[in-house]
Amino acid sequence: MQQEQLSLGVERRWIVTGGFVVPAFDEFVEVFGVGPRRADGADTVYEFEFALDGDDFLGFSYDIVWRSVRVRWLRQEDVLVDVFREGADRLVLEDGGAECGLAVDFRTASLAGQLRVQVFPRVAIRDELLLV
């Protein structure tokens, strides 16, 4: 596990696996109040979900070995957004007080980008993937 001192004096802990850097599990709990759990039948996949207003749910999962992430926003059983990306380099939790979310940086031989997901106070998903 690696540690990083941020400019505000906040220390973050990271887990590095096969080139994919993710926050330590307790970092998720500190930011979101919930930590990832291992997905059923998948030793390298972790997931968590948020109950949003009404019947909406936001799910996030990541595979630490295959360097992939998935974001799903559901309203009851209807899929509003389903994004799957491979080539993840770094997952960062963003806690700005009133707003919190996460960002994932991606890089492959030909593409680079970032997927940003704001969870609170309202969901916002921004995805950018460009040729390099």
Grade residue 132 by pLDDT with cuts at 50, 70 and 90: very high
23 contacts 93 by C-beta, under 8 angstroms: yes
Dump pLDDT digits (tens) for 33-77.
999 999 999 999 999 999 998 899 999 999 999 999 999 999 999
DSSP 38: E
| Neighbouring residues of 33: CB distance < 8 A, sequence distance ≥ 6 | none
Question: What rounded mean pLDDT belongs to the chain?
Answer: 89
Task: Give the lowest-confidence range in 52-56, 90-94, 122-126, 127-131.
Answer: 52-56
Grade residue 14 by pLDDT with cuts at 50, 70 and 90: confident
Q: What angle (nearest 5°) sits at the alpha carbon of residue 44, between those of residues 13 and 69?
A: 75
- pLDDT at 5 exceeding the cut of 70: no
Grade residue 2 by pLDDT with cuts at 50, 70 and 90: low
Task: Tell me how far apart the alpha carbons of residues 4 and 14 are, in angstroms, rounded to a whole number.
Answer: 8
Count of CB atoms situated within 10 Å of the CB of 36: 19
Residue 42 has which token pair?
A: 């998948």
Task: Tell me how far apart the alpha carbons of residues 19 and 27 are, in angstroms, rounded to a whole number.
Answer: 19
Task: Tell me how far apart the alpha carbons of residues 89 and 108 are, in angstroms, rounded to a whole number.
Answer: 9
- pLDDT at 19 exceeding the cut of 90: no
Instruction: Give the pTM.
Output: 0.85
- pLDDT at 10 exceeding the cut of 70: no
| Neighbouring residues of 80: CB distance < 8 A, sequence distance ≥ 6 | 56, 73, 74
Return the closest-CA partner of residue 85 out of 107, 101, 100.
107
